[in-house]
A and B are shown apart, each in its own frame.
Chain A
Amino acid sequence: MTSTSLATPENRTASPATMQALATLNDRLAAKPAAHLRVEKLSIAYSTARGPFHAVDDVSFEVKPGTNLGLVGESGCGKSTVIKALIGLQPEGTKVSGQALLDGQEILGLSERALQDVRWTKISLITQSAMNSLDPVYCIGDQICEAIQAHESVSRATAWARAEEMFALVGLPASRLHDFPHQFSGGMRQRTVIAMALALNAGMLLADEPTTALDPIMQSQIMSRIRGIHEHMRRSMILVTHDIAVVAETCENTVVMYAGKVAEKGPTTDVLARPLHPYTMGLQNAFPRLPVKGQPRQALISIPGIVPNLLRPPPGCRFAGRCPFATERCHIEAPAVTAVGAQSAACHYIDRAPEFREAAARPETWRKLGAGA
């Protein structure tokens, strides 16, 4: 028994006419295809008092219709910045360049008006802060209905019925639609945010750290819910997380970001089985794992040093300062992205990856760089 069973509510109160309208609405929404997203050379610079902060630099990736892309990296690597720019939520004065084509339509730099047409209907966002944007004086159901009715010409009863259906999908009782935002617990809030993101069956879902800071059990419940929905509805999705194991369990493709740049990308199984970039190797070995009976415990490594200051990004590879394999070349010359099959990485020594992988599993390798990080 898993929580992925996608029940439809049985004891509906709606009238036959509403049910008919709902069926039409559902058909119309279901006909929406999963979106295709192509991000090309995306660069984002925040303006600060001390000059531009190059949060994202020359990032390219693609989300094929119906697939699930994991965007991983530690805090400050630019992963959330990418998501904010995709949905037009970057702070004022931010310089965004490059392209992001959603089903062929450029979505960077859209006007507020045009953004309203795109958000919810074509691209929707799942974040932990999404609940904070809800109005505390209206019940949840009203607010979901308002969003549905803003984009679809249906009656309120129909919109409500749709909201009930979305609640059932995320495993919340329909009666809770009458509740107010503050009456929800952490886990229920997260489910509500997912239900809202699904309400108009957007072709592209952006999940920005949907489970960070939740308890492990809650996290696993929410993640299995998200996985179930993804399998059931086959929307395209980007999952942003610092947790490489969540990506391993959830995503077909992975992009590993470091200090605003793509370090490595490719099919998740390849990236995790044969990482090409030393940063990916480090991230993987830093992840605490449960002991397997009868096997020696794997060492837990830590990557010494800190992320470079992106007000003045270093000229060479951005990971060079923390990389145990870095040479002089790495500090001077920025590595180009090199492909190996479906996988690619930005590292000068991609051909030495098998050798690096072996060394990266040993804590001594990383310790040579000095302690005190």
Chain B
Amino acid sequence: MSDLHTSRPAIDPDARPIVEARDLKTHFQGRSGIFSALAGVKPPTAKALDGVDLRIRKSEIVGLVGESGCGKSTLGMSLVRMYQPTDGRILYLDDDITRAEGRRLKDYRRQAQIIFQDPYSSLNPRLTIGQVIEEPLVIHDIGNAAERRERVVRALDLVRIPAVDNIDRYPSDLSGGQRQRVAIARALVLEPTFIVADEPVSMLDVSIQASVLELLDELSRKLGLAILYISHDIATVGYICDHVAVMYLGRIVEEGKAEDILSAPLHPYTQRLMAAIPRMDPGDTAGRAEIRGDVPSPMNVPQGCRFSSRCPYVADLCRAVEPELGQHPAGQRVRCHIYGSEGAKRFPDLQRPEWGRITEVTDAGTLAQASS
């Protein structure tokens, strides 16, 4: 059994990714009624996922963090082809499955599984634990009854739920942590290579979160699973992830090795996310710049840098041009003008953002520069 505090084995950065997203975009067209559609009224578009590159390798756990509405779940759902991407590509072992249909899509669904947040509604209350875990095998028409049962028992073993006592019980007889393990067993029974875990512990009590995280960690090592771990809690990401990507309004704003990002975040948004975590030892929260307001709607993405409407350091350049995801000497890649960007070279006249120069917002909503 693995310990969460021992570091994870290094992942070869040149290894072939199991799953890769290239400039992936998933936009949602608001659906209009039959009459307005006939009248030619165009519904608004929500750019939930707007150009994301990501690679997940064998045995690697990639953490994806951000607030709700940042597009992290949309990315997860798009990668397992629950949402049809609007643009860009999804590669599974170099095979483009972005628009796969029929047999090819069903084959991909065997390889890519998803675990959802809510352990209470993710299991059909009318099915026994055995039936729940058997269902993927039924869907993919694998084995006879006895073989299927054997695989179900093996999957339960993997998540450390005693099969004898539990296979004929109903989800209502289990605790939240046990249900989440059953959901993981259901994902494992098809022996997939890639799993999206969408907030798998955020509805569990703190006292049992670690055991589920530990299980994911162990599965990635033992079975070589590529795991995308989605969470709004950047603190849990630190325990199991090799690589972390921080998302904001449909784009990655910072990514790199988990230890680099968690020990020295560069993007103002990542810094704020980290500062938002309550500390057990009070007193180290001082000197952090507050970010304002709520996440803007993905139907109305701000001009320039997407974070400019909330960033405490925003300057004219930020509102004019969106920075690219650039390599920073510290190791990670970051999308911010503070660290220099192509835009800064192209518009040398525009004021650039600087560390420590906090931009005040007056009540009227206009921005004014305040010297700090």
A contacts B directly (C-beta below 8 A)? yes
Q: Tell me the A residues contacting B by CB distance below 8 Å.
A: 1-3, 74-75, 173, 185, 187, 215-221, 223, 242-246, 248-249, 272, 282-284, 286-291, 293, 296-304, 306, 363, 367, 371-373
Query: Chain B, 254-291, contact with A by CB distance < 8 Å: what is the 0/1 string?
Result: 00000100111000000011111111111001000111
A352 to B232, CA, bound (A): 38
* Interface presence of B111 (CB below 8 A): no
A291 B162 Cβ-Cβ under 8 A: no
B210 A286 Cβ-Cβ under 8 A: yes
* Interface presence of B341 (CB below 8 A): no
* Interface presence of B161 (CB below 8 A): yes
Q: Which chain B residue has the least Cβ–Cβ distance from A77?
A: B205
Q: Tell me the B residues contacting A by CB distance below 8 Å.
A: 1, 3-5, 7, 67-68, 160-162, 175, 177-178, 181, 205-214, 232-236, 238-239, 259, 262-264, 272-282, 285, 289-291, 294, 312, 358, 360, 363
Q: How far is the CB of A211 from chain B (nearest CB, A)?
A: 10
A289 to B239, CA, bound (A): 9
Chain A residues with CB under 8 Å of B275's CB are 220
B206 A249 Cβ-Cβ under 8 A: no
B239 A2 Cβ-Cβ under 8 A: no
Chain B residues with CB under 8 Å of A363's CB are 3-5, 210
A371 to B277, CA, bound (A): 29
B238 A290 Cβ-Cβ under 8 A: yes
Q: How far is the CB of A89 from chain B (nearest CB, A)?
A: 24
4 A-B pairs with least C-beta separation: A245-B278, A302-B210, A302-B211, A220-B276
B279 A245 Cβ-Cβ under 8 A: yes
Q: Which chain B residue has the least Cβ–Cβ distance from A76?
A: B205
B278 A249 Cβ-Cβ under 8 A: yes
Q: How far is the CB of B184 from chain A (nearest CB, A)?
A: 13
Query: A-B contact count, CB below 8 Å?
Result: 140
Q: How far is the CB of A371 from chain B (nearest CB, A)?
A: 5
A313 to B121, CA, bound (A): 28
A371 to B162, CA, bound (A): 10
A217 B276 Cβ-Cβ under 8 A: yes
Chain B residues with CB under 8 Å of A299's CB are 3-5
* Beyond known contacts A248-B280, A289-B280: 8 more, CB 8 A cutoff: A74-B206, A215-B68, A242-B206, A288-B209, A290-B274, A363-B3, A367-B1, A372-B181
Chain A residues with CB under 8 Å of B5's CB are 296-300, 363
Chain B residues with CB under 8 Å of A298's CB are 5
A216 B280 Cβ-Cβ under 8 A: no
Interface-central residue, B175, B233, B280, B360, by most chain A CB under 10 Å: B280
A248 B282 Cβ-Cβ under 8 A: yes
Q: When A290-B274, A291-B263 are in contact, do A372 and B207 touch as well, CB less than 8 Å?
A: no
A58 to B308, CA, bound (A): 53
Q: When A246-B278, A372-B161 are in contact, do A283 and B206 touch as well, CB less than 8 Å?
A: yes
Chain A residues with CB under 8 Å of B178's CB are 372-373
B207 A291 Cβ-Cβ under 8 A: no
Q: When A216-B232, A245-B278, A296-B5 are in contact, do A301 and B210 touch as well, CB less than 8 Å?
A: yes
Q: How far is the CB of A156 from chain B (nearest CB, A)?
A: 25
Chain B residues with CB under 8 Å of A293's CB are 263-264
